[in-house]
Structure 1
């Protein structure tokens, strides 16, 4: 896996780098992403980050035939959607049982599996290849 790359000028906290290195150590990992939950900023990414590219919803139909969203903007759109997804799921879990909390999410598609690890400050996302 490629080294962790910052997507902005902001210094990456050591805990983020360490966590991404640990999460990306498996051979099936193709990409990683670290998001600041408060600012919705992508702190770092590595690997084939194109798997995290999500077109702007207002141009989704147009993007299907001719992508208009840049890679960085598409990843920012993905990050915002994932934070909303995790926040909604966390609320759902706490509504079911106030003493319980969300620790990990797995989302599997035909092409890949996303492992989402929420933290109080950060959101870590790892994309794995799905065996054929």
Structure 2
């Protein structure tokens, strides 16, 4: 499993414009990252909290539904979030690339 995660992160990281990737557990604690520690902790905490809120909204609208992907675009970055049962994959990229 760990090897599969490593290969996936390397494949994602090889794409043009990718700033970094983070895998966090269900509590928002970073497990793997390609970013520096300060940036990782900031993104992990804030994005996992946002993903929880987004998942809650989706379930409030339809209890049989679930959040599968979340994309946030700002002037500086685009953040793609793929939540799973136990982990959340966060990918940060430059939006112009």
TM-score by length of 2: 0.83
Which structure has the higher relative contact order (CA within 8 Å, separation 6+)?
A: 2
Q: CA RMSD in A?
A: 2.2
State the aligned residue count: 97
In 1, the alpha carbon distance for the partners of 2:32 and 2:57 equals 28
Structure number with larger C-alpha Rg:
1
SS at match of 1:103: coil
SS at match of 2:90: strand
In 1, the alpha carbon distance for the partners of 2:50 and 2:81 equals 10
Note the residue ranges of structure 1 that are not aligned, 5 or more in a row: 1-11, 50-70
Aligned pair 1:13/2:2, yes or no? yes
SS at match of 1:131: coil
Aligned to 1:26: 15
SS at match of 1:32: strand
Note the residue ranges of structure 2 that are not aligned, 5 or more in a row: none
In 2, the alpha carbon distance for the partners of 1:122 and 1:16 equals 11
TM-score by length of 1: 0.63
Aligned to 2:73: 108
Aligned pair 1:88/2:77, yes or no? no
Tell me by how many angstroms 1:88 deviates: 0.8
> What aligned pairs does 1:1-132 form with structure 2 within 5 A after superposition?
13-38=2-27, 40-46=28-34, 49=35, 72-131=37-96
In 1, the alpha carbon distance for the partners of 2:86 and 2:11 equals 18
In 1, the alpha carbon distance for the partners of 2:38 and 2:16 equals 28
